[in-house]
């Protein structure tokens, strides 16, 4: 793949299983699937592969961790788990954003939980070790009880990369990923007119689903299922004739055209024109983030965090340019959409376990799944080639 637009509306040829030419890991073929097929079904059931994904894919990627509404004042913090690593983002005393592993370097207790304000310093709840908001160790209770001198500089918090796009805060644990703007390309350019720093978060959804995280990503990035799985909710709007898909290095886009009635009901943000004023954009961002933006300047973000091989945490934050409005109907509709997705993902989880299943043909409305699966397997294959 290249950053150039790769729009595809032609139906693919007959599928085939992985060729076996690439490496295997715990019996799973680790190779980017062909354009007309999908990943090895065994990839959804391997504990060893799940652990590899956590060690490699998530730390090497930009992962959504918070929004700026949570990090306004010095001491404000938010926590996230990235590939099994506890991480926190904190507003420091100078007003900057910092991200650290949420782990005390003394005896490994997490320092903070959830989101909140820690005051002027971070204090470990286990033994009271104290850190400035820039991560420096500044306090050790009863330090004379340790043998020898403590190297204070060597026991500060471990800092990791953090960056912001609009009001959305991302963390890269490895520090080796491309810049956030490169990772998100072309979202920053294409969504500049939507004013996504402006809308306020008006509600949240947070669920645990009995499904492998990759099944949930396949579903989130699939546009073929919309009119069927969501027939009782948003399926009426999922006219395939109004949908186009595009793919870039780390992102994919769904564009939908809305009816005049839909546009009239929601309104259009001043200054938007063309496709941005005519419908919605939904972007997939590797490996686990999704943002849908609407003509009125509102947005929904969704992300999926692996909890175990067969369980995933699914979250939604919805943003509106009218935070004081009545959002109950919108919330109930989105709850319905989520329940429909959870149910189908759990069905796929059961079906993938069949010894006789082989991937079927790829529909042109599954292009974004292709981008996700090819990027995932390429990242794993590159890692195994250098660190088998």
CB 211 within 8 A of CB 342: yes
Sorted by sequence, the CB contacts under 8 Å of residue 85 that are 6+ apart come out as 58, 59, 101, 173
Asked whether residue 180 is domain-assigned, the answer is: no
Residue 13, in any domain of the structure? no
Same domain, 205 and 348: yes
Within this chain, do residues 265 and 361 fall inside the same structural domain, yes or no? yes
Q: Would residue 1 count as lying in a domain?
A: no
Identify whether 281 is part of a domain: yes
DSSP 3-state of 280? strand
Per the structure, the count of domains in the chain is: 2
- Which CATH number covers residue 111? 2.102.10.10
- Quick one: tokens of 106? 């003394």
Per-residue pLDDT tens listing for the chain (388 residues): 333 333 332 323 333 344 456 789 999 999 999 999 999 999 999 999 999 999 999 999 999 999 999 999 999 999 999 999 999 999 999 999 999 999 999 999 999 999 999 999 999 999 999 999 999 999 999 988 988 888 899 999 999 999 999 999 999 999 999 999 999 999 999 999 999 999 999 999 999 999 999 999 999 999 999 889 998 887 666 677 778 899 999 999 999 888 888 889 889 999 999 999 999 999 999 999 999 999 999 999 999 999 999 999 999 999 999 999 999 999 999 999 999 999 999 999 999 999 999 999 999 999 999 999 999 999 999 999 998 7
Structural domain ending residue among the three candidates 172, 206, 223: 172
User: Based on the domain organization, do 205 and 354 belong to the same domain?
Assistant: yes
Same domain? For 72 and 203 the reply is no
135 neighbors 74 (Cβ within 8 angstroms): no
131 plus 207 within the same structural domain: no
169 within 8 A of 97, measured Cβ to Cβ:
yes
Cα–Cα distance between 83 and 338 in angstroms, integer?
24
Q: Which of 241, 245, 99, 118 is nearest to 172 (CA)?
A: 99
The answer to whether residue 3 sits within a structural domain is no
Q: How far apart are CA 374 and CA 38, in angstroms?
A: 9
User: The tokens of 298 are what?
Assistant: 């509102």
Q: Is the peptide bond before 186 cis (omega within 30 degrees of 0)?
A: yes
Question: The domain spanning residue 198 has which CATH number?
Answer: 3.90.380.10
Full residue range of the structural domain in which residue 126 is found: 63-172
Residues 271 and 335 in one domain: yes
Q: Is the domain of 113 the same as that of 36?
A: no
State the alpha helices, DSSP H only, in 76-212: 180-184, 187-190
Single out the residue in 139, 172, 205 at which a domain terminates: 172
| Final residue before a domain boundary, out of 110, 142, 172 | 172
Residue 3, pLDDT score: 33
Residue where the block lists tokens 């926590």: 79
Mark whether 208 and 168 lie in a shared domain. no
My answer on whether 258 and 367 are in the same domain is: yes
Q: Where are the alpha helices (DSSP H) in 166-232?
A: 180-184, 187-190, 213-220, 226-229
The backbone torsions φ and ψ at residue 149, rounded to the nearest 5 degrees and listed phi first, read -85, 145
Q: What's the alpha-carbon Rg for the chain, to the nearest Å?
A: 22
| pLDDT for the residue numbered 4 | 32
Residues 215 and 320 in one domain: yes
Q: Which of 150, 188, 146, 135 is nearest to 166 (CA)?
A: 188
Is pTM beyond 0.75? Reply is: yes
Distance of CA 109 to the CA centre of its chain: 26
DSSP 343-382: HHHHHHHHHHT-TT----PPPGGGHHHHHHHHHHHHHHHH
Residue-level pLDDT at 237: 67
Residue 207 domain-assigned (yes or no):
yes
Does residue 188 fall inside a structural domain?
no
- Do 140 and 216 fall into the same domain? no
The per-residue pLDDT for 339 is 96
d(CA 290, CA 316): 9
Comparing C-alpha atoms, which of 241, 216, 209, 217 is closest to residue 227?
241
385 is written with which tokens? 């080639």
The length of the chain in residues reads 388
pLDDT on residue 242: 78
The answer to whether residue 9 sits within a structural domain is: no
Query: Do 129 and 262 reside in the same domain of the chain?
Result: no
């Amino acid at each position: 793949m290249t950053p150039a637009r790769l729009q595809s509306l032609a139906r693919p040829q007959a599928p085939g299983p992985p060729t076996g030419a690439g490496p295997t890991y715990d019996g799973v073929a680790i190779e980017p699937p062909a354009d007309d097929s999908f990943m090895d079904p065994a990839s959804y059931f391997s504990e060893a592969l799940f652990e590899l994904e956590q060690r490699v894919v998530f730390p090497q990627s930009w992962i959504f961790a918070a929004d700026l509404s949570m990090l306004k004042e010095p001491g404000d913090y938010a926590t996230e788990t990235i590939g099994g690593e506890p991480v926190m983002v904190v507003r420091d005393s100078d007003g900057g954003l910092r991200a650290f592993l949420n782990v005390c370097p003394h005896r490994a207790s997490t320092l903070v939980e959830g989101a909140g304000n820690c005051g002027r310093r971070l204090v470990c709840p286990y033994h009271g070790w104290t850190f400035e908001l820039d991560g420096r160790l500044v306090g050790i209770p009863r330090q004379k009880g340790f043998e020898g001198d403590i190297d204070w500089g060597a026991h500060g918090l471990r800092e990791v990369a953090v960056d912001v796009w609009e009001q959305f805060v991302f963390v890269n644990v490895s520090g080796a990923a491309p810049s956030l703007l490169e990772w998100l390309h072309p979202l920053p350019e294409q969504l500049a007119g939507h004013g996504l720093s402006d809308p306020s978060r008006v509600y949240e959804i947070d669920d645990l689903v009995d499904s492998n995280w990759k099944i949930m990503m396949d579903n989130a990035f699939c546009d073929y299922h919309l009119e069927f799985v969501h027939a009782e909710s948003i399926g009426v709007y999922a006219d395939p004739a109004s949908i186009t898909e595009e793919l870039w290095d780390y992102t994919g886009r769904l564009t939908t055209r809305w009816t005049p009635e839909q546009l009239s009901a929601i309104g259009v943000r001043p200054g938007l024109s063309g496709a941005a004023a005519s419908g919605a954009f939904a972007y997939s961002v590797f490996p686990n983030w999704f943002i849908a933006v609407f003509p009125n300047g509102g947005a929904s973000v969704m992300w999926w965090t692996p909890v175990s091989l067969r369980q995933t945490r699914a979250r939604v934050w919805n943003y509106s340019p009218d935070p004081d409005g009545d959002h109950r109907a919108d919330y109930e509709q989105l709850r319905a959409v989520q329940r429909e997705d959870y149910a189908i993902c759990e069905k796929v989880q059961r079906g993938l376990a069949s010894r006789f299943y082989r991937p079927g043909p790829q529909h042109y409305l599954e292009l974004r799944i292709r981008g996700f699966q090819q990027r995932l397997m390429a990242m794993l294959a590159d890692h195994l080639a250098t660190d088998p």
